[in-house]
Structure 1
Amino acid sequence: MNSSLNPGGVNKLTETTRTPSSKADVCIIGAGPAGALVAHSLSQRGHSVILLEAGKSFESTDRPERMERFLRPGGERRSVWDVDEERDAFSSSGRERYTLNTKRVKGVGGSTLHWGGRVERFPEKDFEMETRYGVASDWPLSYDDLEPYYALAERELGVAGTDDNPVTPRHEEPYPMEPFPPSYSDELFVEACEKLGIETHSVPNARNSRGYDGRSSCVGYGTCSPVCPSGAKYSADVHVEKAQDEGARLIDQAAVRRLEYDSSANRVTAALYQTPEGDLYRQEARQFVLAAGAVENARLLLLSRSDAFPNGLANSSGAVGRYFMEHPYVGVIGRLAQSTGQHRIGFGTTESYQFYEPEGPPPGSFKLEFENEAGPKVLDIALQQRGTLADLSNVLADPSRSTLAEPLKNNQPVIWGDELLDSVRDHYGNYFGISAEIEPLPDPNNRVTLNDDQTDAFGDPVPDVSWSPGSYSKRTAERAFDVIEEIVDTLDATVEAVERVSFWDGAGHSSGTTRMGTDPSESVVNPNLRTHDVENLYVSGASTFVTIGATQPTLTIAATALRLAEHLDSEVL
């Protein structure tokens, strides 16, 4: 192992020297879940690893302050993890405005710093869309290929759950921790589902239902997304630190601007990165792994164009950036004439895959989720002094909006004291939400390109995301609305009000753009995630996914990353 990759006497999280290491076995770009797991797995096996991350290292002791930043009047999600609008600049040219910077975090841990923590496996059907339904394409991997890596991922992340989902195939091993019990509001909806013959089950969560892996059990802050102050919810900085303990070196605030390519050897020779001081460095390595997310993976390949690859590195197929996928969300919010216990916990505990395997689409798959954090918080109501569904849906339509950005409507008088307390009681505690995660289909016209008319802080073209859900997703959404409204109509409670809401710009599950396949003319990477065109360049993460069903992608990101690490260790390094 190359000892220069972990200089003695330098604090792991606060290293200030950002000069490159001597040539490493592997250079990984991106310190989210994919990059972190590959880094830990390889460094644990004795390989020298360098990890380059565009964002900061965030000290775990700062998380309570970040939670307070979010909770303060006017607090915004983007401010919690220090979005840099110049560094993180982007554009959106699709029919749906894609709000990229509300969906990602650039920093050590990546988007697991602000994610919700649901970690279902992809059901078998998601790998076989062309075979089963004649749409999209099959994965070159099967569920059986990934099953042992799913189990390993559940152990590495720490998943609380039980094998009660009838759609997810066999689990060879039990979950590491017991599941969280259903919430108070879940019980209201489960009863209605039972009357309709809709089967519900627990939610596997990457958060500790008891102490696990040196982290505490969940203590109920309720601000899981965007920040868990206790560390009970998994975030990928856990595995970055473990990788550093094994000898890997992390360089944060190292924005990789392009990959240098030697056409005579058909290899990447270096990653060119820039530091906050403006210094430009070259990091050499034997192998390179892109793990910066679907948007930035595609962008970096496109930025690395050369005479050999005029349309972008590893892009002889023209597929780099194409087949961008995202999960639309639809659902209802409403109020009951009884308590729902809103905001008592900040994560889901019950869901349903009843409608996940249709006989033949459209409509496609959707998953029902019962929300424990629906409706406004006490602070929002107290400061706005209004609580109508119309006002609430405006806030829900743009979660990044400050709830204090609009003035009081209709010249409402300012109220204080007991009158304010009564108003809060009238508008808090009885909201509910049921949502559905909607399956998209890969479409080559949904894509990430370079916007040459707009540049970022380094003078490079920003990524442009062109995204439209399409008729398949919209027909699926209409079916989901019908089912959700049936559940609401069956509730053993008085429904005071209900309203449809739609999040067409997606949940933050950006996928596709470097899809895997066996045909180099139609895909970017092979089943082992090596690019077809370049011998020593691999891609990890959801950008390699062929389809994404209606399930959160993070556990599959983790499983494919662990499979990649095993391949690199046994076949390449």
Structure 2
Amino acid sequence: MMDGTVKYDVVIVGSGVSGAIVALQLGLENRKVLILEAGPPVPASRETYMERFYTSADKMPESPYPPNTLNSNPASEAAGRATTLDLINVADPSKSYLVQNLGHGHLPFSSTYERIGGGTLWHWLGTSLRLLPGDFEMRSRYGRGRDWPIEYEAMQPFYAAAEAEMGVACDKDTQLYMKGLYPNDYVYPMPGVVPSFVDATFAAGLKGLELYGQPIQVAPTPAGRNTIPYQDRRVCAGNTNCIPICPIQAKYDATVTLNKALNTGNVTIQYKSVASRVVVDGATGRIASIDYMTYTDPRGGATGSGTAVGDFYVLAAHAIETPRLLLMSATDEMPKGVANSSDQVGRNLMDHPLYLSWALMPDGQPVHPMRGPMATSGIETLRDTPHRKDWAAFRIEIGNTAWAFPINDPYTTTQDFIDGTNSSGLNPNGARLHGRALIDRLNGLMTRQIRMSNLVEQQAQARNRVSLAADHVDGLGLPRPRIDYTLSDYTRQGFRRAREVNSRIYRQLGAREYSTVDKSSPSYFEVDGQGFDFYGAGHIMGTHLMGSSSKDSVLDHDMRSWDHPNLFMVGSGAFPSSGTGNPTLTVAALSFKAAGALIRELRK
């Protein structure tokens, strides 16, 4: 240890949900913890971020959070990150933080994340689904992808701990589309969110419908959102802007857990500190320290550097920045980077590529969207069926935001009827309206808009990866992430089935479908002669996956590095497969599991 350097029990990189949970559990154990956070501090009041959102010319998921998403230059940003606006400039590394390979056969990776105090959970939707037993056994059950080194049953107590920490609202009896998910006596922390009028319309209209041998049933979605006062957070007031920010913190975010960790008096956080190298003791193979760089101005370059020393280390920097750090730490002795004897660090990048569809309910049948959270129910019965041996499964999120996601309504349709255009597809005759006629037409249309988002599973594939773009650096002179990404035929077949299911559902509801495909999009692809484009779900997974052998995985079942016994990595990067449920609850559950293993080591 260098003279004057404070030694901690544990050094954690990242203060998002996984880092915060580990820090809290260690703090409660009276362990001394240092968190290195690349981004700026959590503001004293969320109104700071609300004001940024209100005054920003763009209204993207990242716009409330620093640095400013407009006119960004990733070569000058100390803690850059992928943003939605980057996707517009996906082929231009001077404007896109992720340097994407768009050569033959490649597609753009389309999900984003934050590097701020509290992490990306500032702008998550709140969906808190458990993975299903089949998600953990894809290779054994269906001959696809990888099995997890953990069975569902072993995850039960960690799921319960995560649901308690996050304050998940749900009624267990509404989740029985799969048997064996819960102990008989299990009770969620609070009652479920009341389904929207849109949900009720779907539920009533789809009764009796079966597809691919499965009932198409609507189920309320477990949500990290208060229906009763919980952990000093308010009850959800139905603001339909969970993304990008809940204005009253009724929705759980990682600052809740982070503040509890800091309040133990055993956890210290150091903001604007970008981990730049993981240092390995060549004699023992243990991690010796983590070097970091500091900055003051987010676009002003480095102002200093330091070294963090602990007995154990936890990387919790999300599934792109964690492998980036490990790869940047390469030496002559470890030319592939730290923790990478398997050559799997950065590989197996996954998401839930999203198929989006939208339709209009019949005249005289309004569903009144935009009342309540952005989504409160889904169709989960196609998440784990025998068909997974042939095509990727998917869950269906029932949207409660009309056509905001598909076409940026209410703005697009309003502009159509003012200008006589037809971008929405709802003004084929080119009508130009104003005054009461405009109001009546818009009310008659927008109250009938419905949409579905289909989260399609993706297999771990070594060719989908994060590596280093040595010729494109950030504001600290560190190489930015290079992305190689595509969709397998298995996932593309899932898109084809998702389209069939969605169109059949709309017909069952008597709705007219308006879904379109943008052939000019870099996300466009074809399968069996049909054209599709896709969106990122914001579910960045893989890149330091766990497994049963050091030969083909980075971590063991406790998320400990096979190569370095005092190094753990938490977050969705540890996932061996994407599963079919939104990953945040499983991220939290695995963080409790890793924290338990780490505490046992510290007690030895």
Does TM, scored on the shorter chain, surpass 0.5?
Answer: yes
Correspondence for 2:40 among 56, 59, 80: 56
Amino acid at match of 1:391: S
The aligned runs of 1:405-444 (5 Å cut-off) are 417-418=435-436, 420-422=438-440, 424-444=442-462
In angstroms, what is the RMSD of aligned CA positions? 2.5
Q: Find 1:372's aligned residue among 400, 403, 415.
A: 400
Q: 1:186 aligns to what SS in structure 2? A: helix
Q: Does 1:91 align with 2:99?
A: yes
- For the pair 1:75 / 2:85, whether they are aligned, the reply is no
Match in the other structure for 2:284: 265
Displacement, 1:465? Answer: 1.6
Q: Which residue of 2 aligns with 1:487?
A: 505
CA contact (8 A) 2:128 2:582 kept: yes
Q: Does 1:222 align with 2:240?
A: yes
In the other structure, the counterpart of 1:206 is 224
TM-score relative to the length of structure 1 = 0.88
SS of match in other structure, 1:141:
coil
**8 Å contact from structure 2 (residues 132, 384) kept in 1:** no
Distance 1:392 1:262, change over 3 A: farther
Identity of aligned residues (%): 29
Return the alpha-carbon distance in structure 2 between the equivalents of residues 44 and 27 of structure 1.
16
**Residues in 2 aligned to 1:438 and 1:60: alpha-carbon distance in whole angstroms:** 38
CA distance in 2, matches of 1:461, 1:64: 31
**Which among 346, 351, 370 is matched to residue 343 of structure 1?**
370
Residues 416 and 424 in structure 2, CA contact (< 8 A), matched pair in contact too: no
Structure 1 residue 59, shift from structure 2 partner: 2.1
Q: Assess if the C-alpha contact under 8 Å between 1:96 and 1:504 holds in 2.
A: no
AA in 2 matched with 1:521: K
1:196-219 deviations in whole A, cap 9, x for unaligned?
Answer: 042221100001011101111101
Q: Which amino acid aligns with 1:26?
A: V
How far 1:570 moved relative to its partner? 1.6
Tell me how far 1:120 sits from its aligned partner. Answer: 0.7
Aligned to 2:28: 44
The reply to whether residue 517 of structure 1 matches residue 517 of structure 2 is no
Aligned pairs (5 A) from 1:471-486: 471-486=489-504
Identify the match of residue 11 of structure 2 among 3, 27, 32: 27
TM normalised by structure 2 equals: 0.84
CA positional deviation for 1:50: 0.6
- Conserved 8 A contact 1:342-1:375: no
Deviations 1:332-352 (A, max 9, x none): 112222322122123322112
Aligned to 1:308: 333
Contact residue 52 and residue 64 of structure 2 kept, 8 A: no
2:582 paired residue number: 552
How many residues are treated as equivalent by the alignment? 535
Which of the residues 237, 251, 255 maps onto 1:233?
A: 251
Aligned letter for 1:305?
A
**8 Å Cα contact 2:474/2:480 also seen in 1:** yes
**By how many angstroms is 1:546 displaced?**
0.6
Which ranges in structure 2 are unaligned for 5 or more consecutive residues?
Answer: 69-73, 81-96, 210-214, 297-302, 518-531
Given that 1:387 and 1:427 are in contact with CA atoms closer than 8 Å, whether structure 2 keeps it comes out as no
SS of aligned partner of 1:273: strand
Of the candidates 163, 174, 179, which is equivalent to residue 154 of structure 1? 163
Q: Does 1:499 find its partner at 2:515? A: yes
In structure 1, what is the Cα distance between the partners aligned to 2:477 and 2:57?
35
The AA in structure 2 aligned to 1:270 is S
Task: Give the 3 Å change call, closer, same or farther, for CA 437–71 of structure 1 in structure 2.
Answer: farther
Structure 1 runs not aligned, ≥5 long: 1-19, 394-408
2:208 alignment partner, SS class? helix
- Maintained 8 Å contact 1:161/1:204: yes
Contact 1:329 1:507 in 2 (8 A): yes
**Which residue does 2:596 correspond to in 1?**
566
Whether the 8 Å CA contact 1:123–1:168 is kept in 2: the answer is no
TM superposition shift of 1:571: 2.6
- Matched-pair contact (CA < 8 Å) for 2:418–2:434: no
**SS of equivalent residue, structure 2 residue 330:** coil
SS in 2 for 1:345: coil
1:79-478 maps to which residues of 2 (within 5 A)?
Answer: 79-83=63-67, 85=74, 86=77, 87-88=79-80, 89-94=97-102, 95-100=106-111, 103-163=112-172, 164-165=174-175, 166-167=177-178, 169-172=180-183, 173-196=186-209, 197-247=215-265, 248-277=267-296, 278-336=303-361, 337=363, 338-360=365-387, 361-376=389-404, 377-378=409-410, 381-382=413-414, 385=417, 391-392=423-424, 417-418=435-436, 420-422=438-440, 424-478=442-496
Deviation sequence 1:300-331 (CA, Å, 0-9, x none): 00000012211111111101011111101113
Q: Distance in 1 between matches of 2:419 and 2:315?
A: 46
- Asked if structure 2 preserves the Cα contact closer than 8 Å seen for 1:358 and 1:364, the reply is no
